[in-house]
Amino acid sequence: MHHLHARLLVCHIRRARLQAHAVAIAEAVKLLDDLGAEALPGGPLGDQRGLFWLTVPAMEVDAAVSRLPRLGYTVAVDLLEPSATNGRIHTRQRRDDRRRLRWRGRDYNILRAYEEDAGEARERAPDRRTFVLDTAAGARAVRGYRGDGGDLSRRGLPVCDARLLVNLAGGARAKTLLDPFAGAGGAALEAIACARYVFTCDRDAALRFGLRALGARHYVADACCLPFRAASIEAIATEPPYDASARDVVLQAFGEMARVLTVGGRVALLTTPDQAAGLRPLAASLGLAVEVDSAINRKGMDCVALVCSKPVPGYTQGGNIGAEEQSMELKELVEILACPIDKQPVRMEENWIICSYCDAHYPIQDGIPCMLIEEAKYPNGKKNADQPAPTAS
């Protein structure tokens, strides 16, 4: 071990995601990096498949272990304790779990610090959980809802991929996290378990009760015209539709994601290889830095995990809200909303979200704002229609 006061974690990658080695490491590092975790190029038991190694400062081990159940692509983690601590019975350790190994001339006890509860993971899976769907006969709970089979509406992100996205986006420490293509809420559900405010958008109004029931702050909205102010969201985790016809929607929505991200914010997407090919140059032109760009095979389906961040200096397009404003408490959630047409501030009046600039009235239906441009009403006529909107803030 390269540092006496560091502890080594031996991480076991999920069997079904063994090929996604680099992404699994990136996920774990992102989850633990504020605790000083670092990936090692190699470690003990290196002859076994599907392992990677992290070091964590000894004083942060408990904090790190408490976060491990959030991992998606790692199913078990062993903690190596130098055997000098041998006499002590560790609370994380059951005596019968104890194993030993020798590495680089030192003896270690191997403690199982985390192991996924397979039963619990299965219950969270899209085909097991219930989702409230708005149907012609009213709202009803549907078990195993996987979408209506349409090209742009297939749903049901596996739990491990949902956790991966949330962790890669930095969701565990984010105050605000958004999924703009929320579907049946796979990513939202995992985000709600760790981020403070989780926002979801989906064009399909039938999903609104289900997404709200999960605990998200949901808006019926188009990902290509997001109803949020510039630089208002710290983390975005999303799986856009995979169908070839969705390519332009995904590229357009990516521009919107870049706009609403805070400086230092991060977007994690699971896309098709073709979408990723379009997103890479777009990220560069939007001033985003690509942090992770890795192929994943999901049961025969080729995907790409793409993570981009908005660097601290430099990105000015669309204007950023000030640091002071970014760090403030979100007293009123409406403060981060913007009109999807001109990105200007909005206010809430009775059952409407109203744009202060163009006076578009967006209806709040069953307590859920519908921020689709085509649903906007203009009871007083359109205002400022002949003027260019001021620079959005």
- Mode of pairing for the β-strands spanning 361-365 and 138-143: unpaired
Contacts with 48 (C-beta within 8 Å, 6 or more apart), sequence order = none
Q: Under the criterion CB under 6 A, does residue 164 sit at the interface with ligand SAM?
A: no
Question: Containing H/E element for 45?
Answer: none
Indicate which single residue of 196, 203, 280, 298 sits in contact with ligand SAM (rule: CB under 6 A): 203
Q: Under the criterion CB under 6 A, does residue 220 sit at the interface with ligand SAM?
A: no
Indicate which single residue of 98, 112, 154, 383 sits in contact with ligand SAM (rule: CB under 6 A): 154
Indicate which single residue of 17, 155, 163, 218 sits in contact with ligand SAM (rule: CB under 6 A): 155
- Closest Cα to residue 238, out of 303, 159, 298, 157? 157
Task: Please tell me whether residue 73 adopts helix, strand or coil conformation.
Answer: coil
Stretch that binds ligand SAM, among 96-104, 220-228, 308-316, 343-351 (CB under 6 A): 220-228
- Closest Cα to residue 309, out of 370, 253, 236? 236
Give the whole-angstrom CA distance, residue 372 versus residue 362. Answer: 8
Q: Which is nearer to ligand SAM, 187 or 296 (CB)?
A: 187
Indicate which single residue of 181, 197, 315, 357 sits in contact with ligand SAM (rule: CB under 6 A): 181
The first and second tokens of residue 57, run together, are 């400062």
State the Rg of the chain over Cα: 23
Contacts with 285 (C-beta within 8 Å, 6 or more apart), sequence order = none
Indicate which single residue of 174, 184, 288, 304 sits in contact with ligand SAM (rule: CB under 6 A): 184
Indicate which single residue of 44, 170, 186, 210 sits in contact with ligand SAM (rule: CB under 6 A): 186
Size, binding site for ligand SAM by CB under 6 A: 21
Q: Under the criterion CB under 6 A, does residue 204 sit at the interface with ligand SAM?
A: yes
Q: Which is nearer to ligand SAM, 241 or 318 (CB)?
A: 241
- Residue 268 · residue 277 · CB < 8 Å: no
Site for ligand SAM in 61-120 (CB under 6 A): none
Stretch that binds ligand SAM, among 15-23, 107-115, 176-184, 329-337 (CB under 6 A): 176-184
- Residue 152 · residue 56 · CB < 8 Å: no
Residues that bind ligand SAM in the complex, under the rule CB under 6 A: 152-157, 181, 183-184, 186-187, 201-204, 222-224, 239, 241, 249
